[in-house]
Amino acid sequence: MADTGAGRFAPSPSGRLHVGNLRTAVVAWLFARSTGRRFLIRVEDLDRVRAGAEADQLAELADLGITSDSPVLRQSDRTDLYSEALRALIDRDLAYECFCTRRDIAEAASALHGRPGFYPGTCRGLTAEDRARRRRERPPALRLRAAVDTWAVEDVLAGRVAAPVDDVVLRRNDGVIAYNLAVVVDDAAQGVDQVVRGDDLLTSAPRQAYLASLLGLPAPVYAHVPLAVTAEGRRLAKRDGAVTLEDLAAQGRTPGAVLALLLSSLGLPEGSLQAALGAFDTARLPRQPWVVDPSGLFSTPACPACKPSASTDKVLP
């Protein structure tokens, strides 16, 4: 296959994949194949890892016919690459030490004009003496010294999306490289120029694209897929019941039957991935969440709480 870029699926090995995760993997595979790209699988194991989960997830994907065109990479094997990128930011004074606890950040966000989930820059102005004193109390994280308030990306499904950019964590206070830096470095290093993932990560895309620009790396094409949700509109989780391949196999559902279900939920032919690929059209993908009722998974429940997401310019809070 010609090297014309790549798409990817990058799960965290924290447990078995549920049908919502598998559906996103199917969409990512279809996006990549329909645009002549390679398809890669990357294991994002810097944070949550459960013994045996990686092997389970790769087997589950293979059961649906989804495999990687290159050897599977693990983030835990790539820390030298992340440290190099971090050093480049430090050398340009684009990173600073942060001593805030989660409670500190939550309290700052609850103050007037605070943005929940966004860092207010509390430690930006610390003096050298302040930092030396604080280091004796707790090890610092490293944060990006962002120079913009917002950044915009183009998303195939959501349109132009602008969102606030804050001083994201680059390295946690336990020394582990943070997700936002690792994923930007990995995508560029692997030639990933198409990122298809759940739309719960839509607000992360502008942050990551901005960080890529600081590192002189190209931003990928994004496509954020509506999530699988419960009938109440809550994001699907394994705790919701029989939603993994293992669960469904115990009910007599084969991987082929689950694949057919996933393809049907996307409005695609149910016979195989190749048949679905022949009919794949991004303009016809559902723009609303996929409602999953574990007690009747192979039916189509309604979701009064779910609203379609239109493809238009967006400014996210």
Which positions make up the binding site for ATP?
238
Q: Do the Cβ atoms of 46 and 182 come closer than 8 Å?
A: yes
Name every residue whose Cβ is closer than 8 Å to that of residue 183 and which is 6 or more positions away in sequence: 10, 44, 208
Structure tokens at 94: 């684009």
C-alpha torsion angle, residues 126, 216, 199, 71 (rounded to 10): -120
The amino acid at 95: A
φ, ψ dihedrals at 42, nearest 5°: -125, 135
Which positions make up the binding site?
8-12, 44, 98, 100, 119, 123, 179, 197, 238
Which positions make up the binding site for Zn(2+)?
98, 100, 119, 123
Structure tokens at 206: 């502008």
| Three-class secondary structure assignment of 46-113 | CCCCCCCHHHHHHHHHHHCCCCCCCCCEEHHHCHHHHHHHHHHHHHCCCEEEECCCHHHHHHHHHCCC
Residues 63-91: b if buried by 16+ CB within 10 A, e if exposed? bbebebeeeebebeebeebbeebbeebee
Length of the chain: 317
Which positions make up the binding site for L-glutamate?
8-12, 44, 179, 197
DSSP string, 268-309: --SS-HHHHHHH--GGGS--SPEE--GGGTTS----TT----
Q: Do the Cβ atoms of 39 and 7 come closer than 8 Å?
A: yes
